[in-house]
């Protein structure tokens, strides 16, 4: 069933066209990723679907009765509204029915026989509605979402108006998930979440009963959640039946085919033009009308050819020239006995860390664990309570902060770049062009730049100087997918040390050779990329939950007959491991089949259902394994 359909949608901002005859369909239950470069119209499309923005032409059809939820909306609540008050707004209908049920319960306790039957009938209908809407699971659902998005009991009593922008977004995301709309429109849902919360959200969306549309630059997130990609490019939409990795490969294949078809058409056109010219020449020489008629006939055929546009094989992206300084000493970063706390919260407890020269290290950890605090101490912006953290000898540092700010935001891009650099204006403009600041762009005021543009300008300044160490704090936050890929390629060529904080797992996999996790005030090192870290941390967790069968287990309560018959706990865990491995193998086979039958909708639908069943089975087995 088609849940949402868009046909030949046109949208203008003033005289500038933003979307041009955009068309696509979304089926009920699909999880769709909407991607495209910054400014291509993705968020505008969502606002049009929600009725926030008008449009000039085209048709939008949404399944009758379908409800929509949109993450990007930031409603204003009463000043006294707390986080839990906002979350409970998701249950307004349920709470209203519950109050009506309570009123009827009071009336039933006092009703006489004549009125009892009518009241019982009303109560029964209300109870049925209450159950259908999930009233009896309200507390369980609220607890699940709050835990998954790390909204603690203490945090839930904070005033919503006093929260940061990121905190508000997380609360609104939680509220929308609790509302359970038929169609979820999520604009960069993973932006303000830590890795644990992102993985929880992925699992939640994979089991979501409705339809999900996700605008995201997070390729790892898209790979794990979506089954269809809609790319908005050149104001039009192109659909790909697969996740991000499939889209990337398939787009390259389509571009190559388009380019080959374009070349063949050009060859044919040139051949026809040559033949027409020859026929006219022969007609002139022999004064033969037949040659002119054949030339005219061929010319008409040539005019009827629908000419293909030459496909753009490569889009403009950041072009960075790295000038690496002489290498630093053997040790790039050293931390010993490092301690730091804020009030009653301990961030670092006798922490030890060593980063060698030329290493590529990603620092990861939950929000609020102290990652940015560590960076500030490393840069000398904060003092540790005790211990030390220092940069190695001969380190020439370049630092890209999470939120880029400039000393004088009223100055132009060109003025800011040239402030501490001896360079001619012509050479400066040529250099800035590599960072996509073309022509009049260099005369824009810095205050008018977007977050991504500010990051680009900061990178331009950093990379102009010779450095041998880069410290990056969430470098991909404001970059679109094309610029993220370009940054990854550039960092691969950088021969110095790279130390960065990131929640972008795809970026971490591409750049990092070592992962350092900050948790409970200590650093733990993993010699590999993010996937390696996940594998090892999962193995570690399994090991912690595994019972050592060689040791006698004392004071064990009597188990049920079934569990007792299955032998000791070690065998139960071993059996569960085998079942988990079996289901994981099944899921890999299903994933392969999904790619194989990407154009067979019926088969895809069947495989998607099988995948959902297998994922639920795996989730249940994991819960049993970890004793949840």
Cα 180 to Cα 177: distance, rounded to the nearest angstrom: 5
pLDDT given at position 320? 54
**Confidence at 242, pLDDT banded by 50, 70, 90:** very high
Tell me which long-range contacts 12-20 makes (C-beta under 8 A, separation of at least 24): 12/56, 17/235, 18/44, 18/235, 19/44, 19/45, 19/55, 19/232, 19/235, 20/234, 20/235, 20/236
pLDDT given at position 530? 93
Within 104-188, strands assigned E span 183-187
pLDDT, mean of residues 331-355: 90
> Any idea how long the chain is?
628
pTM for the model: 0.73
> Which is more confidently placed, 220 or 323?
220
> Which is more confidently placed, 550 or 446?
446
**Confidence at 367, pLDDT banded by 50, 70, 90:** confident
Residue 48 has pLDDT above 70, yes or no: yes
Phi, psi of 25 (to 5 degrees): -120, 145
pLDDT, mean of residues 438-459: 84
Cα 296 to Cα 299: distance, rounded to the nearest angstrom: 5
Cα 278 to Cα 297: distance, rounded to the nearest angstrom: 14
pLDDT given at position 329? 64
pLDDT given at position 104? 86
From 583, 217, 512, select the one nearest 360 (Cα to Cα): 512
Residue 581 has pLDDT above 80, yes or no: no
């Amino acid at each position: 069933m088609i849940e949402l359909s868009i046909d030949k949608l046109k949208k203008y901002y003033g005289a500038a066209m933003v979307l041009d005859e955009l068309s696509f369909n979304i089926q009920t239950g699909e999880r769709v990723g909407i991607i495209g470069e910054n400014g291509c119209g993705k968020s505008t499309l969502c606002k049009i679907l929600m009725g926030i923005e008008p449009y000039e032409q085209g048709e939008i059809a949404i399944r009758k009765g379908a409800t929509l939820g949109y993450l990007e909306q930031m409603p204003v609540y009463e000043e006294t509204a707390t986080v839990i008050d906002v979350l409970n707004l998701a249950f307004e209908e349920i709470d209203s029915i519950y109050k009506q049920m309570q009123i009827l319960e009071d009336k039933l306790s006092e009703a006489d026989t004549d009125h009892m039957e009518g009241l019982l009938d009303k109560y029964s209908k209300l109870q049925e509605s209450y159950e259908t809407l999930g009233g009896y699971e309200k507390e369980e659902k609220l607890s699940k979402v709050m835990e998954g998005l790390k909204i603690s009991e203490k945090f839930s009593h904070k005033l919503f108006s006093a929260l940061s922008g990121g905190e508000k977004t997380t609360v609104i995301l939680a509220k929308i998930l609790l509302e359970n709309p038929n169609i979820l429109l999520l604009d960069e849902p993973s932006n303000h979440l830590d890795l644990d919360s992102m993985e929880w959200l992925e699992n939640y969306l994979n089991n979501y009963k409705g339809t999900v549309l996700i605008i995201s630059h997070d390729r790892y997130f898209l790979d794990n959640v979506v089954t269809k990609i809609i790319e908005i490019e050149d104001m039009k939409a192109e659909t790909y039946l697969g996740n991000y990795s499939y889209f990337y490969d398939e787009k390259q294949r389509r571009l190559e085919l388009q380019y080959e078809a374009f070349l063949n058409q050009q060859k044919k056109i040139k051949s026809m033009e040559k033949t027409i010219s020859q026929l006219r020449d022969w007609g002139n020489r022999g004064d033969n009308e037949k040659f002119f008629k054949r030339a005219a006939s061929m010319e008409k055929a040539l005019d009827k050819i629908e000419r293909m546009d030459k496909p753009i094989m490569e889009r403009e992206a950041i072009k960075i020239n790295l000038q690496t300084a002489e290498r630093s000493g053997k040790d790039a970063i050293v931390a010993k006995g490092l301690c730091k706390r804020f009030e009653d919260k301990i961030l670092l407890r006798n922490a030890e860390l060593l980063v060698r020269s030329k290493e590529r290290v990603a620092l990861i950890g939950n929000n609020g664990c102290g990652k940015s605090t560590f960076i500030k101490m490393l840069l000398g912006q904060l003092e540790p309570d005790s211990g030390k953290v220092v940069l190695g000898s001969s380190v020439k540092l370049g630092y890209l902060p999470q939120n880029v700010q400039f000393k004088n935001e009223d100055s132009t891009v060109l003025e800011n770049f040239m402030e501490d650099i001896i360079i001619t204006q012509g050479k400066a403009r040529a250099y800035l062009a590599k960072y996509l600041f073309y022509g009049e762009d260099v005369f824009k005021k810095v205050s008018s730049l977007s977050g991504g543009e500010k990051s680009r300008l900061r990178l331009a300044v950093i990379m102009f100087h010779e450095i041998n160490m880069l410290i990056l704090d969430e470098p991909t936050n404001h970059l679109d997918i094309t610029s993220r890929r370009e940054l990854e390629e550039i960092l691969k060529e950088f021969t110095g040390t790279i130390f960065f904080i990131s929640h972008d797992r795809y970026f971490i996999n591409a750049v990092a050779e070592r992962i350092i996790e900050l948790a409970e005030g200590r650093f733990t090192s993993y010699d590999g990329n993010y996937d390696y870290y996940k594998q090892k941390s999962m193995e570690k967790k399994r090991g912690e939950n595994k019972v050592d069968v060689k040791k006698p287990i004392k004071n064990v309560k009597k188990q049920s007959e079934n569990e007792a018959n299955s032998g000791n706990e070690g065998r139960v865990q071993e059996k569960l491991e085998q079942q988990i491995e079996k289901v994981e193998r099944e899921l890999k086979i299903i994933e392969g089949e999904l790619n194989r039958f990407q154009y067979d909708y019926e088969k895809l639908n069947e495989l998607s259902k099988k995948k959902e069943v297998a994922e639920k089975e795996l989730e249940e087995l994991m819960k049993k394994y970890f004793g949840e």
